[in-house]
Structure 1
């Protein structure tokens, strides 16, 4: 876990996102135990209810589950659930607005692809 939280999102969402990141990046595997709420509170210096709210979002999404008296663990299929959720968000937050703006600018598909390749650093020609 890297220390420090940003100011852009509510802290409980950042806690959820950090754990999801660890799952997507294979730092946490299925059936691995995640840090306890108390560990998150101490590590990030946050309120217990804030940490619990972030954890509960993951439980509600079926990403983690609780073993009573033992702790919280990464659920089976968690990586694919998180990946699918993030692909959906990427589509709605970035792809749809990009397509709409490309229509407004009357850009061809080839021009859009060229811009994407340029942004990825694969095509260093000036636009």
Structure 2
């Protein structure tokens, strides 16, 4: 099994997130065909039912749609739906705790903005 799917969570959740990452990064744009259950199970060496569960999760979220006899495709709104989900998850998982900790250590919003700008322009994130 790929290390991408070996993150301690159920495999179908990890696979659904991997497919979502690929959609967000442009590997599978809106309207494009995504790998089948069998292709995913062969590639990741997982049970086809697990691969199907991952795809169905994205269907339930209206990110993918089933086209009878053709396979699964990214919906027209799939990319934007994923972005909205990820923004909400980012806010809950990272931004809210960051703001709480900043308040505890006495950093203002302006201080945080300055730190973010410094971090973005630092040696590991420099732009040409």
TM-score normalised to structure 2 length: 0.85
Q: Which residue of 1 is the match for residue 4 of structure 2?
A: 5
In the TM superposition, residue 114 of structure 1 has moved relative to its aligned partner by 2.6
Change (3 A) 1:76 1:41: same
Matched residue of 1:15: which SS? helix
In the TM superposition, residue 49 of structure 1 has moved relative to its aligned partner by 1.6
Residue deviations 1:10-60, cap 9 Å, x none? 221121112111211121122211100000000000011211111111000
TM-score normalised to structure 1 length: 0.86
Matched residue of 1:107: which SS? coil
Runs of 4+ residues deviating >3 angstroms = none
Q: Which residue of 2 is the match for residue 113 of structure 1?
A: 113
Kept after mapping to 2: 8 A contact 1:64/1:75: yes
| Structure 2 residues not aligned, in runs of 5+ | 124-128
The alignment yields a C-alpha RMSD, in angstroms, of 1.6
Matched residue of 1:66: which SS? strand
Q: Greater CA deviation, 101-110 or 76-85?
A: 101-110
Aligned length: 121
Q: Greater CA deviation, 108-117 or 64-73?
A: 108-117
In the TM superposition, residue 115 of structure 1 has moved relative to its aligned partner by 2.4
Mapped partners of 1:12, 1:114: distance in 2: 40
Mapped partners of 1:77, 1:112: distance in 2: 33
